[in-house]
Structures are given as structure tokens and as C-alpha cells.
């Protein structure tokens, strides 16, 4: 078993309230290294909120989050411990446009206290095929290049847990295929991947389990082998239907199937 | 300390490339000095020496407000603030890096603005350059921590340009009391008194400790 495969992320009864609004209402997550979890659901279901709590960016109103890492003497409780082994790539790239690609990675490497940030940055840039543009400012990158650099940034400290929020948004098909391949490789290296997406087809390429969130609750859970099957697609379609107001004049369900 | 050094390096290198904050602060400071020139027709008279400390610190405080309002703007672009919040260390070091960078930029602007003030009003500030720099530094070290913390708090609000001065100016009263008095003593006696230096050191120390601890909560969502 690789070191990363010994990673485990357990969240119990997560609740997050923003004033009177309950964004998450008792969500459980339990996933180990070498597996990928897709978090699906309509807009406002609480997917991004869940991911930011798992990353340690936001604090749950109640509930418990534990990240166990290989080599750690004890399970890491608390948000600083959770952050140590987590790589996060959100809607935005978290990059500084004034810095070059290499400088962005070196900066984040220094923040995480890695031993050789320059060497690590060069290795990641080579892995992502960005070595030839390493000294170009990140602000001049295309959406696809920025997304690849953002994934490298999330991996700079070699985290066992990789959290991704809509990583395919804005990417063309070719860039999406390349990213999908990269994320499968991360999973197969033994990392724990949690992927928030609207795109069931893309999520199914990477994830081996899934949850469908609706109004902050887990409406459906798909275990390994069920992904891409009718039950999950139906659950996802139901969640989308439930999140939309009825269309005047349409008595039945209106939502098309999940995007392919 | 590695986090502090990384943030300081990043802030200074991005400022060197964009120069948006220093240029804005400097242009504003020079314009205020020119406004003083027209607003004080007897500006070159002996009275100006009495008012110089207060006039200088008005320039410094408003220049600081301009710079601090932009201090976290770059962190909002691409949600880079989340990258800082994700560090597996005390987030107070992020604050310390940002505050030191803010202090250095403000100190640079103070030096240039004071030189311009001296030229416009024909006051020889160069003769007291070293003790003046000491008082400016102590004052800046009081403005930077509380300004950085409040800037981080205000940056996610809709009215951040208005909110920051409303929150910051009252917090700067003790710093200004020591800094204006210390500057006046330098210009009058050649050096600051122990009382004004002591006041600045105590206020600076309190602000750095409180802001270091409080910053962890500011980055929470």
C-alpha cells in the first residue's frame, strides 16, 4: 500500500448554517486513499460548502472532521491538521497573475514548508507539460493552462487528499480529457480524490463512488460499481428536478438527463 | 517565519511588477502636499514648523488608507486568499508577512512624501533624518498591523473602501498621539522623548500581538 493509500477522510454529521440558511444538514463522508468520490447535485445543494469544510477553509457549525494520514502518530483532528494533507483546487485557480508559473508553485511550496520548492516546481511543471512556459506570467495563460497549473499548485506539497471544485468548468473537450486522465492518475497513485461536479459523465470517468446532495442533505449514495448506472442517473435527475421550480404548463418532470 | 518570508517576497515582487499601490500612495501624498502649499499661504513662515508633524502624519495616514485598501485586492483575484488560508501553519504568519510588506511600502512613501514636504515648505528635514526615520518607522509599525487586519476584514464586504477608514482611524489615535508628538520633538529638540517612544513601542506591541492572534479568525469563511 502506498503511503497516500493509508489516508482516510471521515466527516460525521456535518452541519453548516449561514444565518437562517442551512447549507449542509448532517452530511457524512468516509473515503480512503486510492478512491475518488464525486459530489453531485444542483446549484445551491451545498457541494462547494462541503468541499471547503473538508479543505479546512470553512468551519462546520457542528459535526466532526478527521483526516488520518500515513505516518501520522494519531488521526489529525482539527482544521490545521486537516489542511496539512489537503490539496485544494476551487472554481478559481488560486494563482497570482503577476507571478510566473514557476514562481506561483515556488511560493505555495514555501507556504507549505517543502524542502526544495524550486525542484518540486520544476518537476510539477514538467509533469503537466508546462515546462516551456514556466517563466511566463500566470495571468497570460489560457483557461486550460491555468487549470493545469492550479492542479500542480494543489499538489505542490504532495497531499494525500485532493479536493476539486468543478475542475472541468470552462475547459474544452480536449483539455477536459487531459484533466480527466490526470485526475485518474492521481487516484491510481493512491491519493484520495473528492470531486465536485455538475457533469455526471466526467465525474464517472474519475470517481468510483458518488453522493448526490440536495438542499444540504445526501439524497443518494452510489457505491463502487454503481456509478454511471441508471440508479445514480435517476437520483441525479430527481435532484435536479427537485431543485427547479415547475415549468408552467408542464405537468411532468422537465429535467433532461445529466449532461454527457 | 518561512510563511512570513514567502508572503513578504510575494507581496514585494508583485508590487514591483505592478507598482499600483506605491504609485497611488505616492501621487496622493504629493498632491496633498501641493494642496497644503495652496491652503497655507503663509506656509513658509515660522508657524509651519509647529504644524509640520501634524500635517505630515495626515498625509501618512491617508496614504496608508489608500495602500491598505489595495493590500488584499490581489488576494481576491482568483480566490488566492483561499490559498493563504490553506497553509498548515498558524495563519498569523500570513498576517505578519502582509503587515511587514505594508509597513515597508508605507515607510518608503513616508520618506519620499516627507522629502517633498521639506522642499515645498523649505524645511530642512535632512538634518534630522535619522531620528525622524525612527519615529516614522515606529508609527508605521503601529499603522501596519491594525491596518492589515482591518483590511482583511473589510475586503470581503461590499463597502470596503468606506469601512476601512471608519474602522481604522479610531484605532490609530494612540499611534498618532505618539507619532505626532515624537516627530515634533525631533524637529524641536533633535530627538524624540522617552515618553513618546515608549507609547509607540507599547501600542505597536499590543497591536502586533492582538492582530497576529485575531487574523486566524478573519480568514475563516
Cβ pair A36, A185 in contact under 8 A: no
pLDDT of residue B196: 94
pLDDT tens for residues A17-76? 998 999 999 999 999 999 999 999 888 889 999 999 998 888 889 998 888 875 544 444
Give the number of other CB atoms < 10 A from CB of residue A173: 8
Quick one: which H or E segment has residue A36?
Answer: strand A36-40
In chain A, which among 136-155 make CB contacts under 8 A with chain B?
153
pLDDT > 90? residue B5:
yes
The span from the CA of A212 to the CA of A227, in Å, is 11
Output the CA torsion sign for B53, B59, B65, B70: negative
Spell out the alpha helix ranges (H) of chain B: 2-18, 20-39, 47-71, 73-76, 80-85, 92-121, 129-154, 160-189, 194-218
User: Using a CB-CB distance cutoff of 8 angstroms, which residues of chain A are in contact with residue B83?
Assistant: 94, 108, 111, 153
- Residue range A123-128: mean pLDDT, rounded: 90
Q: Which chain A residue shows the shortest CA-CA distance from B89?
A: A80
| A153–B6 C-beta distance less than 8 A | no
pLDDT > 70? residue B212:
yes
Size of interface A-B (CB pairs under 8 A): 81
pLDDT of residue A125: 93
* 3 state DSSP class of B42: coil
The span from the CA of B176 to the CA of B200, in Å, is 9
- Rounded to the nearest 10 degrees, what angle do helices A117-127 and A101-111 cross at? 130
Name the minimum distance, in Å, from the CA of A118 to any CA of chain B: 13
pLDDT > 50? residue A254:
no
Q: Which chain A residue shows the shortest CA-CA distance from B20?
A: A98
Distance of CA B133 to the CA centre of its chain: 13
pLDDT of residue B43: 55
Q: Which domain holds residue B186?
A: 2-218
pTM, whole model, 2 decimals? 0.83
pLDDT of residue A144: 84
- Rounded to the nearest 10 degrees, what angle do helices B92-121 and B20-39 cross at? 40
Name the minimum distance, in Å, from the CA of B196 to any CA of chain A: 37
| A90–B80 C-beta distance less than 8 A | no
Q: Which residues contact A171 (CB under 8 A, 6 or more apart)?
A: A143, A144, A147, A179
Q: How confident is the model at residue A230 (pLDDT cuts 50, 70, 90)?
A: low
Is A167 in the B-facing interface, judged by CB distances under 8 Å? no
Q: Which of A59-63, A75-79, B211-215 has the lowest mean pLDDT?
A: A75-79
The span from the CA of B185 to the CA of B209, in Å, is 28
The span from the CA of B180 to the CA of A247, in Å, is 67
The average confidence (pLDDT) of chain B is 91
Cell 496539512 locates to: A84
pLDDT of residue B121: 87
pLDDT of residue A219: 87
Name the minimum distance, in Å, from the CA of A113 to any CA of chain B: 7
Q: What percent of chain B has pLDDT over 70?
A: 97
The span from the CA of B121 to the CA of A104, in Å, is 45
pLDDT of residue A111: 93
> Which of B7, B22, B86 should be substituted to probe chain A, the one whose Cβ sees the most A Cβ atoms within 10 Å?
B86
Q: Which of A92-101, A212-221, B44-53 has the lowest mean pLDDT?
A: B44-53
The strand pair at A62-68 and A217-222 is best described as unpaired
More confident site: A171 or B71: B71
CATH 3.40.50.300 assigned to A3-85+159-243: yes
Name the minimum distance, in Å, from the CA of B112 to any CA of chain A: 26
Selecting from A59, A83, A98 the residue whose C-beta is nearest the C-beta of B88 gives A83
pLDDT of residue B126: 85
User: Using a CB-CB distance cutoff of 8 angstroms, which residues of chain B are in contact with residue A112?
Assistant: 87-88
> Which of B83, B89, B90, B218 should be substituted to probe chain A, the one whose Cβ sees the most A Cβ atoms within 10 Å?
B83
Instruction: Kindly provide the b/e burial profile for residues A73-91, where b requires at least 16 CB atoms within 10 angstroms of the residue's own CB.
Output: eeebeebebbbbbbbbbbe
Cβ pair A94, B78 in contact under 8 A: yes
| B221–A52 C-beta distance less than 8 A | yes
- Residue range B2-17: mean pLDDT, rounded: 93
Domain boundaries, chain A: 3-85+159-243, 94-137+146-158
- For A190, phi then psi, to 5°, come to 105, 5
The span from the CA of B177 to the CA of A239, in Å, is 61
Q: What percent of chain A has pLDDT over 70?
A: 80
* 3 state DSSP class of A257: coil
pLDDT > 90? residue A256:
no
* DSSP for A182-193, written as a single string: HHHHHHHTT-EE
Selecting from A52, A98, A111 the residue whose C-beta is nearest the C-beta of B17 gives A98
ipTM: 0.86
pLDDT of residue B112: 95
Q: How confident is the model at residue B46 (pLDDT cuts 50, 70, 90)?
A: low
pLDDT of residue B79: 87
Amino acid at each position: 500500500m502506498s503511503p497516500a493509500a493509508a489516508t482516510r477522510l471521515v466527516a460525521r454529521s456535518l452541519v453548516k448554517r449561514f444565518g437562517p440558511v442551512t447549507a449542509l444538514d448532517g452530511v457524512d463522508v468516509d473515503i480512503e486513499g486510492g478512491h475518488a468520490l464525486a459530489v453531485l447535485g444542483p446549484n445551491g445543494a451545498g457541494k462547494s460548502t462541503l468541499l471547503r469544510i473538508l479543505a479546512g477553509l470553512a468551519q462546520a457549525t457542528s459535526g466532526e472532521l478527521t483526516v488520518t494520514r500515513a505516518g501520522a502518530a494519531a488521526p489529525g483532528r482539527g482544521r490545521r491538521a486537516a489542511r496539512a494533507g489537503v490539496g485544494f483546487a476551487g472554481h478559481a485557480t488560486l494563482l497570482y497573475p503577476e507571478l510566473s508559473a514557476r514562481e506561483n508553485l515556488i511560493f505555495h511550496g514555501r507556504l507549505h514548508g517543502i524542502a526544495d520548492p524550486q525542484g518540486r516546481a520544476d518537476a510539477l511543471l514538467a509533469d503537466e507539460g508546462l515546462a516551456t512556459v514556466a517563466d511566463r506570467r500566470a495571468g497570460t495563460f489560457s483557461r486550460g493552462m491555468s487549470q493545469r497549473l492550479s492542479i500542480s499548485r494543489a499538489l505542490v506539497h504532495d497531499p494525500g487528499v485532493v479536493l476539486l471544485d468543478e475542475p472541468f468548468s470552462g475547459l474544452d473537450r480536449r483539455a477536459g480529457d487531459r484533466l480527466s486522465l490526470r485526475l485518474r492518475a492521481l487516484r491510481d497513485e493512491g491519493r484520495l480524490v473528492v470531486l465536485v461536479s455538475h457533469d455526471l459523465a466526467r465525474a464517472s470517468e474519475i470517481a468510483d463512488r458518488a453522493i448526490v446532495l440536495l438542499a444540504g442533505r445526501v439524497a443518494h449514495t452510489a457505491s463502487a460499481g454503481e456509478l454511471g448506472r441508471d440508479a445514480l442517473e435517476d437520483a441525479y435527475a430527481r435532484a435536479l428536478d427537485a431543485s427547479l421550480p415547475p415549468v408552467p404548463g408542464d405537468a411532468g418532470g422537465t429535467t433532461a438527463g445529466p449532461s454527457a | 517565519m518561512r510563511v512570513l518570508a514567502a508572503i513578504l517576497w510575494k507581496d514585494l515582487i508583485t508590487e514591483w511588477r505592478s507598482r499600483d499601490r506605491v504609485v497611488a500612495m505616492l501621487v496622493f501624498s504629493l498632491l496633498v502636499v501641493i494642496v497644503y502649499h495652496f491652503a497655507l499661504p503663509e506656509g513658509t513662515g515660522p508657524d509651519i514648523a509647529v504644524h509640520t508633524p501634524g500635517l505630515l502624519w495626515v498625509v501618512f495616514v491617508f496614504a496608508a488608507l489608500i495602500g491598505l485598501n489595495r493590500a488584499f485586492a490581489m488576494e481576491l483575484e482568483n480566490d488566492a486568499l483561499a490559498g493563504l488560508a490553506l497553509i498548515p501553519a498558524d495563519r498569523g504568519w500570513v498576517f505578519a508577512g502582509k503587515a511587514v510588506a505594508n509597513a515597508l511600502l508605507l515607510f518608503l512613501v513616508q520618506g519620499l512624501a516627507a522629502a517633498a514636504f521639506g522642499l515645498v515648505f523649505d524645511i530642512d528635514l535632512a538634518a534630522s533624518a535619522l531620528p525622524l526615520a525612527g519615529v516614522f518607522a515606529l508609527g508605521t509599525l503601529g499603522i501596519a498591523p491594525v491596518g492589515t487586519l482591518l483590511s482583511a476584514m473589510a475586503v470581503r464586504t461590499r463597502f470596503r473602501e468606506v469601512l476601512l477608514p471608519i474602522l481604522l482611524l479610531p484605532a490609530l489615535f494612540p499611534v498618532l498621539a505618539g507619532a505626532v508628538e515624537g516627530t515634533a520633538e525631533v524637529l524641536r529638540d533633535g530627538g524624540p522623548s522617552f515618553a513618546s517612544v515608549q507609547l509607540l513601542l507599547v501600542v505597536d506591541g499590543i497591536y502586533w500581538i492582538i492582530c497576529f492572534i485575531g487574523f486566524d479568525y478573519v480568514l475563516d469563511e
